Structure 1
């Protein structure tokens, strides 16, 4: 039994006892919005469906009641790593929690069973597959069960964004345990998904609580992708030594990005379903335990991550739905501190997702494409990002300026006469008889000499080359913005463009439209960003010292660092510099158990630092009264940066891939990756060092075969050309296309 269960608590009702548990165990003096209502439902045994955004404190909604109600609470969780982290955190707070999973020995499982029989466990964590075995269900019927909490409950619904068939079997809980209430928790669920969860779990007149989908501590930026590695590096450079996640669409992109970051001296590891189980687990553990700063991953990474101090999430490509984006970007700032969410997108992302869907189960293809189009509209939209996300989930957003997105921070460069520009684009769609997609329309507007355009006679249209002075990427952005604002729509299997009624009105200059120019924004933080406010008054030197102390303690105990203390606690300590146990007890997030276990150690660290720097103690901080102290940048790894510099120098000398590989002692495949980075970084326009002139001629003549930047159509066009007597590799095509693109961009 937990240290706190059965002790003398205040007697003024269940929620009063819950507040006291919250303070004594977790060190918080009040619940967050909707937590109190959710806790009350669990304590009073009323079935419930609770939707709180990532970082909204769902776990406390069932952990606190488990220490108030009699009997044992069973928590259903989908991933072993998530269960372990939560159990470690609970145990560190003096809570009697345990888990049973496949990684444990039979002896460990028997020991846990014995403790359960003796009534010594208050919270038991199980995966749905294990819980639903006859052996487990039969065992649990022999002990008092207070309630079941189902985490990641959207997995129950076929309409959810991460349906898992094994979750459907959980409806049996109401039949096998009629006296135990069942509570479903998730971060993202539409009304249809919420209703389906309640039906599938056979809940009895459940209470449905839906928190705000807004995450005010996150700053959103949607940036058109242009040299993704450089854009990613710009964000990471602002967060040296801090934790971040980079999401990529494909496994190949994950591997390439992780390798490129490592070459830049960034502590980074890959994570995707193609890695073997042990490597994947090791990489995840290294990230959670702060042995590496950055994890580069597909969407296979995320659900089981209970890491509170992720300071940035970068999407190197567009997610496949706003639900996924909300869930994935929500991995940032779970501790409530300001964090950045940067999404790098391009028009080709939509086609990438379409191809992925076409290769899979097509039963929900139309709905999946609707989700992808909605995500695309969010990327290209000009509405406050916070408002757009909240409105998508059916909620109102009544803040005039969120001060936490690229739109509200004024980072978008608006077009001076958007109606005239819109008329040009809409007219082109009409003259193309609304039969073509975005890529083709952009080519006509920018005066492309593509063979298909010439053969169709579209070079004779009055709208041909109408925007020839603009870049193709800018025109594509405007087309997509007209779609997101409802003046154009995609339809049919090939996403053909056509005007809406609002679009036809706009042709007559009736209506209001906003178009923006592509900016060179790197995702840098604005001076008005909440990031600065979250560091208000914090002594960065003391913070780093306390962080190092925390890391050492976490390593000794083999637990994630945030299990010791979260970043918010360390910042408050470095801000107020308490001089006594009583001062420590006033810091939110320090409960009785951690105060007793770690209080003296952290006081000693602060004593030493403050003496060395002649600093006062027990500081009273007035928000806005002092500027945050600057953090010196952490130097890059000399080894990684120097290696890349050496390789670039060799390419500059005109060395071939084989020659560079031999000089630096790296694999040819690795050097090819370096070459791609070199061409992008330097803007090289001459591919003749690495590809023969005759192959360059053939490849460049076939570039027009690809409308969305893919290499496969180019390769196929060359292979089908009977006049070409030699083979051309994808790597050669990639080099020539990159150099050709640089030449077009530079106007050379």
Structure 2
């Protein structure tokens, strides 16, 4: 796919496709119905953006959130691609500009929200503008039982049939059940060409910790990463506000975000997060799929997410640029009770509630894992992996012990109190603590009273939390959270199954310092490059990463390009961005910038660039012929560029290049052809 590779470099600034991208791009370019499941940060958007440039007509992109669409459109426009979005967030001027570009036949990508498909005029519009491809971002939203269901996604299959065009669907979050539903709803159960390119995000460090003063745990985690962009997910609106305030009091730039805020205030938070380096957003999951910022360095959860899919998607917002990123997820018994109750009190049918408990169990198993977390996470999505070396348990293996006897004691206490009490009262019984409640109910006379005096209260809390995580017990919503025993616990009670637990002191673990993005030697240059990026971004009123991502700046700081040719070889520096920003960043790095004619700059970083230089040297030497007495003849830089790109191999071919004539071909031809033949 030579044309694709040329566009990959000239438009998007990449020398090669990421793993798995090339075959997906080829399938979409060929007009095949396509379903691609790729990890967040794996480059899904390029897999429909690049084919849109190769294919005739307009590519319509169905995307779930306005912020995500606007960010992608800004990024495309910055790379020189004609793209637009029709959203409720547009000004009238923006909407008029999009329609005008469509009428002129200039637009290659048109973004719209699924809700727009309900409008009667949408189908006629898409027919009139020559829609040739539908791309669906976040395709898992079509799943009615998924965590991000959008009812209007159900209209996309009908749109595909009406337009009779190929459809390419993309998502990072789809287990086998969800993939089956996507095929059924979008492709009429006719299997598309499916690409499953893994869920591994090796650059993301995974870590969980039991709750122990969660506010302080989050503050400590943020303190080690001060100045880096991060997200803290919290379970309630009130907690987002109090935690954001605590972070500000600790000296961080932090704001809160939740669904109860005024829409203008939410948009202002989104704008600030996109454009400011080092801002922390404390949010509910309302701050979701619209986050398209590639240089988020960390994500923390102050409360347990609702499922393993939600966890995977939320941590996936970190490190989209491929640079190191870190996560921390706090969890406790109260979280587990809350999530269980949410499921039990939901309106879903019994079989779906059972599946939701299974998804929560998978997340709890990850939280209480005994070995590499990445192995366990990938196993849930059907992948095998070696220990990753980039999670907390690989760094510090847990202290395991045979907890069978302790679990049997706890289960016995639950049964002997008729499954009517929560862990607090049960721990008092096990530890032999005489409270008014214990005495009133005569529980101090139970055989289990005092059988657990060998453990502290925090240790028993950890045991009960792990029992919840192992699904040996569940809170009973009809008894206000009292613990009841599950079928899974019966073999343990009968002595037929063993239970391994983690010894948990519940002391706040000391987090290692955040990994430096570059060496200490390169850190000052990276800071200077970020300052230049921020100034340019603020002047253009765009997010900083639209100028260059962190990953691109890191490569600049490490390789220190000395010329525009060197700069053009940096990942993420395409022709448009080299033209717009190359000289200014090169000045930060090298102090001085070579003067380069625009025609030569278009060849920067390419083999044709060095050919241009040699041709120009030869043209200068032959201005008055070989003996220096001939008529003065010059060749324009634009003509030299065409010769360097086309590489004509005869005097006749050379003379047909625009800007040449017979006299010039006769004088410069032999020298030019010798240079061009050597360049082959």
TM-score range (shorter-chain normalised) is 0.7 to 0.9
Deviation sequence 1:300-357 (CA, Å, 0-9, x none):
0021010011111110001111111111111111111111110111111123335556
- Does the CA contact (< 8 Å) of 1:48 and 1:184 recur in 2? yes
Which residue does the alignment assign to 1:113?
99
Q: Is the 8 A contact 1:254 1:272 kept in 2?
A: yes
2:401 and 2:503 in contact (8 A); partners too: no
Task: Tell me if 1:74 matches 2:45.
Answer: no
Moved more, 596-605 or 132-141: 132-141
Q: 1:523 to 1:554 in 2, by over 3 A?
A: farther
**Cα distance in 2 between the residues matched to 1:501 and 1:107:** 61
Tell me, what secondary structure is at the counterpart of 1:37?
A: helix
CA RMSD of aligned residues (A): 2.7
Aligned residues: 587
- 1:441 corresponds, among 420, 426, 437, to 426
Structure 2 counterpart of 1:185: 170
User: Is the partner of 1:296 in helix, strand or coil?
Assistant: strand
- 8 Å contact from structure 1 (residues 224, 518) kept in 2: no
1:444/1:463 contact within 8 Å kept: yes
Q: How far does residue 456 in structure 1 lie from its aligned partner after superposition? A: 3.9
- More off after superposition, 130-139 vs 461-470: 461-470
Tell me the alpha carbon deviations over residues 397-435 of structure 1, each in whole angstroms, 9 at most, x when there is no partner: 321x211222111163x1555455455445545655767
**TM-score, normalised on structure 2?**
0.80
Q: Give yes or no for contact 2:227–2:279 (8 Å, CA) kept in 1.
A: yes
Tell me, yes or no, if the aligned pair for 1:381 and 1:485 is still in contact at 8 Å.
Answer: no
1:104 alignment counterpart: 90
1:547 aligns with 2:530: yes
- Whether 1:158 aligns to 2:123 is no
Matches within 5 A, 1:282-293: 282-290=268-276, 293=279
The CA distance in 2 between the partners of 1:442 and 1:40, in whole Å, is: 61
Q: Which runs of 5+ in 2 are unaligned?
A: 594-680
1:286-305 alignment, distance < 5 Å: 286-290=272-276, 293-305=279-291
2:378 to 381, 386, 390: 390
Which residue number in structure 2 is paired with residue 248 of structure 1?
Answer: 234
TM-score, normalising length: structure 1: 0.73
1:517 and 2:504 equivalent?
yes
Specify which of 355, 366, 376 is matched with residue 378 of structure 1.
366
Q: Verify the 8 A CA contact 2:370 2:397 in the aligned structure 1.
A: no
Q: Which residue does the alignment assign to 1:471?
A: 456
**CA pair 447-584 structure 1, distance change in 2 beyond 3 A:** farther
Secondary structure of 1:91's aligned partner: helix
Deviation string, structure 1 residues 179-214 (Cα, Å, up to 9, x no partner): x11111111011111111121123543112222122
- Per the TM alignment, residue 269 of structure 1 is displaced from its structure 2 partner at its CA by 0.5
Provide the C-alpha distance between the structure 1 equivalents of 2:71 and 2:4, rounded to a whole number of angstroms.
23
Partner of residue 49, structure 2:
63
Offset of residue 586 of structure 1 = 2.0
Which residue of the partner structure matches residue 46 of structure 1? 32
CA distance in 2, matches of 1:562, 1:105: 23
Query: For the residues of structure 2 that align with 1:352 and 1:60, how far apart are their CA atoms?
Result: 39
Q: Deviations over 1:559-612 (max 9, x none)?
A: 1101111111111111111111121122111111111221111111012499xx
Q: Distance in 2 between matches of 1:35 and 1:206?
A: 17
- 2:128 pairs with one of 124, 142, 146: 142
Aligned partners of 1:407 and 1:431: how far apart in 2? 37
Of 348-357 and 189-198, deviating more is 348-357
User: In structure 2, how many angstroms separate the alpha carbons of the residues matched to 1:133 and 1:33?
Assistant: 39
For residues 366-406 of structure 1, the C-alpha deviation after alignment (integer angstroms, 9 at most, x for no partner) is 5444433443333233232212211222x23321x211222
Q: How does 1:469-618 map to 2 (within 5 A)?
A: 469-482=454-467, 484-485=469-470, 488-490=472-474, 493=477, 496-498=483-485, 504=491, 508=495, 511=498, 513-522=500-509, 524-525=511-512, 531=515, 534-536=517-519, 539-608=522-591
* Preserved contact between residue 370 and residue 400 of structure 2 (Cα < 8 Å): no
Cα distance in 2, alignment partners of residues 26 and 211 from structure 1: 21
SS in 1 for 2:84: strand
Aligned residue for 1:123?
A: 109
Secondary structure at the counterpart of residue 395 of structure 2: coil
Alpha-carbon distance in 1 for matches of 2:508, 2:319:
22
Cα separation, 2, equivalents of 1:565 and 1:453? 64
Moved more, 294-303 or 212-221: 212-221
Of the candidates 180, 183, 191, which is equivalent to residue 205 of structure 1? 191
- How far 1:458 moved relative to its partner? 3.0
- How far has the Cα of 1:21 moved from its partner? 1.6
Contact 2:86 2:95 in 1 (8 A): yes
Q: Which moved more, 1:442-451 or 1:228-237?
A: 442-451
What secondary structure sits across from 1:246 in the alignment?
strand
Summarize the alignment of residues 208-247 of structure 1 with structure 2, pairs less than 5 Å apart: 208-247=194-233
Superposition deviation, residue 450 in structure 1: 4.5
Q: Partner of 2:319: helix, strand, or coil?
A: coil
Q: Is residue 19 of structure 1 aligned with residue 8 of structure 2? A: no
Distance in 2 of aligned mates of 1:68 and 1:320: 41
Does structure 2 conserve the Cα–Cα contact (< 8 Å) formed by 1:381 and 1:481?
Answer: no
